[in-house]
Amino acid sequence: MQPYGVRDVEKLLHLSRSAIRALIGAGFVSPVRGPRGAWQFSFQDLILLRTAQALADANVPQRRITKSLKELRGHLPDEMPMTGLSIGAVADRVVVREGGSRWQAESGQYLLEFEGDPADGSLSVIERAGGAEVATSPQEWFARGSALENEDAKRAQEAYERAIAADPEFLDAHINLGRLLHERGRFARAERVYREAILRCGNDPVLLYNLGVLLDDQHRLQDAVLAYEAAVTSDPGLADGHYNLALLYERLSKPKEALRHMARYRSLTATRPR
């Protein structure tokens, strides 16, 4: 197996020496030292270096890059295969393809294709992001959004939007998208999502309740009451809806309505006798 020096890496991958040092320092690759202490890279190191840089440029968190590369290294051949090699993202997984075979490793949304052979002094890299993602079903887009929420809210939002575009009546995607926009402070956009979902999916109690919370947080008390009332009409057992209505009616100086909903809340949440 032919080793490659730093100059080879600079030429083949178009990475600066400082970028190479940073990727090594981050632990993404561990090249060996040659007779004079110079770094020597394997074919696997070349692929891992370029993949690490691409994923970092795509703002994939370092811990995910490290996990991806650890999995990826175990599947890479020692030399460029005759059938070529590509690394792509499918449903938030890195997929390594060699001819008719493919493997998966955890990673981010990015696509790399490697052509040529370093042994011949050539290794072209084709990079695509965003639109190059492989199309998936609405359920897969929804699952992707759910997995990304705690890590990348913007990409989670995009995944939910894709799920809705593929299936405009996907209720759970509307609910999660509206909630995520609400949490990000995008109140107007969240309200549009909820109201469009009501038109498409009907008076779902969770959808109406979430709309009520959004309006309540904006101090639009009368609008919030209408949303909560619609929610408890759709589901009379929605305890939190009754509780929030009780508080709202108290703030609106309507004690009779406040007492009625608080009593209903207590009856729904009371511990049943053994």
CA distances from 78 to 81, 100, 119, 189 (A): 9, 18, 12, 50
Q: What is the rounded distance in angstroms from the CA atom of residue 65 to the CA atom of residue 128?
A: 17
pLDDT of residue 125: 45
List the chain pLDDT tens, one digit each, 274 residues: 567 888 887 877 777 788 788 778 877 777 888 877 888 888 778 777 777 776 666 666 677 667 767 766 666 655 554 334 555 544 344 555 544 444 444 433 344 444 444 454 444 444 444 433 444 578 888 888 888 887 788 888 888 988 898 889 999 999 999 999 999 999 999 999 999 999 999 999 999 999 999 999 999 999 999 999 999 999 999 999 999 999 999 999 999 999 999 999 999 988 544 4
> Hey, what CATH topology would domain 6-132 get?
Multidrug-efflux Transporter Regulator; Chain: A; Domain 2 (1.10.1660)
Write down the domain spans for the chain: 6-132, 138-269
Q: Quick check: 4 and 42 in contact, CB under 8 A?
A: yes
Is CATH 1.10.287.70 correct for 138-269?
no
Q: What is the rounded distance in angstroms from the CA atom of residue 210 to the CA atom of residue 178?
A: 8
The reply to whether domains 6-132 and 138-269 share a CATH topology is: no
What is the value of pTM for the model shown?
Answer: 0.53
Q: What is the rounded distance in angstroms from the CA atom of residue 51 to the CA atom of residue 45?
A: 10
pLDDT of residue 75: 60
